[in-house]
Amino acid sequence: MSTSSFINALRRFFAIRGPSKVLRSDRGTNFIGACRELRIFTDDSEVRNYLSNEGCSWTFNAPHSSHMGGSWERMIGVARRILDAMLLQSGPTRLSREVLVTLMAEVMAIMNARPLVPVSTDPESPTVLTPAMLLTQKANIVSAPEGVFDLKDLYRKQWRHVQCLADIFWKRWRQESLTTLQSRKKWINDKRDMQVGDIVLLKDDQTKRNEWPIGLIAKNIPSQDNKIRKVEVRVVKQGAPRIYLRPVSQLILLFPKETIKKD
């Protein structure tokens, strides 16, 4: 999406859902351009606090760190893989704009119907909290139409076409989203945090052949739990020193500062 088309999408979102206080996203070029056009982000602390209280602020993840999106990036990734696979399997049929928009609305309803908390043992609160409940203030979910929808419906009426695709998405979403809820063995054990003075190698997909960008950690940026997940790295590029903000997942520790001999 271009900056202009994203601003229109953002205005549609605000018109339907109401204004938002805080937006969080990665550093997509259309997002960066949109916040500049709309002037809803600033580095000035006083203005940022005012916007957070009165208007809208925009919080960006560090560059090259889509994993910091957490749950939303994980859900987007699962949904994208499912949609790519199911639309390839549906054959050469083309989706009209009406079918596509309706399908994405059905996908949104499926994703927002997921439970956020375990089922309560309190008999007075038997329902499970979902994102849809927070958005619509209603406990009932959007139920599927009666009937069975199969691949034959891809070539019939448009509404049956949509429901067939929605059923396919639901079956795969339920299977694949459950696996993401299982505990991961990665990053469970505590490891040494990156420290100022460490020499690191930057993992950059845009690095040209035979280039090995090595930098020095100049500043740590602790998270709320005091873990270091973002750092500022000083790199010499084309003879000039530059400072880059990078997540630690994009850095390889070469020499801890303890092992570096000082003259």
Q: Each residue of 74-115: pLDDT tens digit?
A: 888 888 888 888 877 665 567 888 888 999 999 988 888 887
Whether residue 238 sits in one domain with residue 150:
no
Average of per-residue pLDDT values in the chain: 77
Q: Which phi and psi (to 5°) does residue 80 adopt?
A: -65, -45
Determine, yes or no, domain membership for 185: no
Sign of the alpha-carbon dihedral angle for 165, 7, 71, 129: negative
Determine, yes or no, domain membership for 205: yes
Cα 224 to Cα 228: distance, rounded to the nearest angstrom:
9
Whether residue 151 sits in one domain with residue 76:
yes
Determine, yes or no, domain membership for 100: yes
Determine, yes or no, domain membership for 191: no
| pLDDT recorded at residue 231 | 93
> Per residue in 15-53, is it b (16+ CB within 10 Å) or e — as a string?
eeeeeeeebebbeeebbbebbeeeebbeeeeeeeeebee
Q: In the predicted model, is pLDDT for residue 8 greater than 80?
A: yes
| pLDDT recorded at residue 92 | 55
Domain region containing 207? 199-259
Work out whether strand 199-202 and strand 214-222 pair parallel, antiparallel, or are unpaired: antiparallel
Determine, yes or no, domain membership for 15: yes
Average pLDDT over residues 36-53: 60
Question: Above pLDDT 90, what percent of the chain?
Answer: 4
Whether residue 96 sits in one domain with residue 171:
yes
Q: In the predicted model, is pLDDT for residue 137 greater than 60?
A: yes
More confident residue, 227 or 53: 227
Q: Is 248 exposed, middle or buried (CB count within 10 Å of its CB: 0-12, 13-18, 19+)?
A: buried
Whether residue 118 sits in one domain with residue 39:
no
Q: In the predicted model, is pLDDT for residue 197 greater than 80?
A: yes
H helices present in the chain, as ranges: 3-17, 29-38, 45-54, 71-89, 97-112, 131-136, 158-180
Residue 232 — very low, low, confident or very high, per pLDDT cuts 50/70/90?
very high
Whether residue 152 sits in one domain with residue 87:
yes
Q: Which of 7-11, 21-25, 138-142, 152-156 has the lowest mean pLDDT?
A: 152-156
Average pLDDT over residues 180-197: 70
| Highest-pLDDT range among 46-60, 200-214, 236-250 | 236-250
Whether residue 74 sits in one domain with residue 31:
no
**Torsion angle, alpha carbons of 213, 217, 221, 225, to 10:** 100
